[in-house]
Amino acid sequence: MSPPSLIETHPNLSGTAPVALSYELFPPRSPKAAESLWTTIGELEATDPDYVSVTYGASGSNRDTAVELINRLLLETTLRPLAHLTCVGNTPQELAEIIGELLDHGVRGILALRGDQPKDGGEQAKGSLRYAQDLIELIRRVEQRRSALLCAGKVAVGVAAYPTKHPESPSEAHDIEVLLAKQRSGADFAITQVFFRTEQYADLITRARRAGVTIPIVPGVMPLTSVRRLKRLGELTGVEPVPELLEQLASADTEAERLRIGVRATVDLANAALDAGAPGLHLYTFNEHAHALEVLDKLALPRPARSISRLNAIARRQVLAS
Ligand code: FAD
């Protein structure tokens, strides 16, 4: 047996690894929504997340507002954006242009998604990419053509993972095969769809690792504080909310009591994922900071030590934003 390598025994590689922190935002749909979003961005920035993801409408329905938000994040804040990109309804040529535009603006992280099929059940547009896997391959090709421009930072490509079966998929085993195929095509990490039961993230990790998925799988967690939002998300994603929690939230006597119940349930969900080895936590904010920050406050995540100059830059931004 060979002795442990110097890398394996290096003292700095032992101990608790820092946990990544990220938030999801969506491009605002009105000037009023933009104003409130920028208040939220200021509050979230103060927590020094590793990145914030910006959603993208299927078929590029909000391309301009998404690119504008990403640009402003890059130019006016200390935040690093992760740009979502969907391929449904767009040709490879159109997508290559968007990818090029994002890279030119300074984006170095893209979440490659298929996007939801049109509600009318119509066929995919002719010439449109079929699966997220195809989009990953396209991103890697665009990246390759610009490799000399990307010497100071390659593109990190993320994908979606599903703790409960994707609504169009025949089985959870098929979902894992798809995740493995996305990894083979060049995905660096995955973020999960929402899930509402504490065991679901650990189960996904067990299935994924057994099948050979090695990339980090970051749990996507939403604050479980609103009955209306939980039901709506359940309908949109096909993920069933927990009936007992819905009941408890609905029967809370006061707003403060409802918040306490919802935050407790979210913290339990996040802690279960962290106990199962989650490398990070991605909070679905719905462009609101208060409940996400309540959850964060109760979690005490081990976060990386930042340099004084970075902390000063964030503090300066807070002054400018106020
Ligand atoms: P895919 O991985 O392509 O999978 C789609 C379906 O096709 C699945 O049923 C899968 O099993 C099947 N499949 C995939 N590859 C193959 C194959 N090779 N052979 C056979 N079957 C296959 N939607 C948006 O519109 N905008 C967003 O910004 C957005 N952000 C999201 C962020 C996260 C973290 C998550 C989890 C979802 C997000 N979504 C977003 C929703 C997502 O677009 C939908 O869940 C969509 O239905 C599937 O996207 P996907 O990338 O998982 O697709």
- Mutational pocket test of ligand 1: of 61, 166, 201, the residue with most ligand atoms within 8 Å of the beta carbon: 166
Q: Which residue in 130, 64, 143, 134 sits closest to 99, CA to CA?
A: 143
Q: Which residue has the tokens 């990307």?
A: 150
**Helix 255-275, helix 290-299: angle, nearest 10:** 50
- Got the DSSP string for 250-275? HT-SSHHHHHHHHHHHHHHHHHHHHH
pLDDT tens digits along 276-313: 999 999 999 999 999 999 999 999 898 988 889 988 99
State pTM to two decimals.
0.95
The answer, yes or no, to whether any atom of ligand 1 lies below 6 A from the CB of 157, is: no
* Rg of the chain, C-alpha, whole Å: 20
**How far apart are the C-alpha atoms of 89 and 94, rounded to whole Å?**
10
- Give phi and psi for 169, each to the nearest 5: -85, 145
To the nearest whole number, what is the mean pLDDT of the chain?
A: 93
Express as a percent the part of the chain with pLDDT over 90: 81
- Count of other CB atoms within 10 angstroms of residue 239: 21
**How far apart are the C-alpha atoms of 133 and 187, rounded to whole Å?**
9
Complete domains list, the chain, with CATH: 17-308 (3.20.20.220)
What is the residue type of 165? K
* Structure tokens that stand for 206 in this block: 């067990």
The answer, yes or no, to whether any atom of ligand 1 lies below 6 A from the CB of 85, is: no
The answer, yes or no, to whether any atom of ligand 1 lies below 6 A from the CB of 169, is: yes
pLDDT tens digits along 94-121: 999 999 999 999 999 999 999 987 766 5
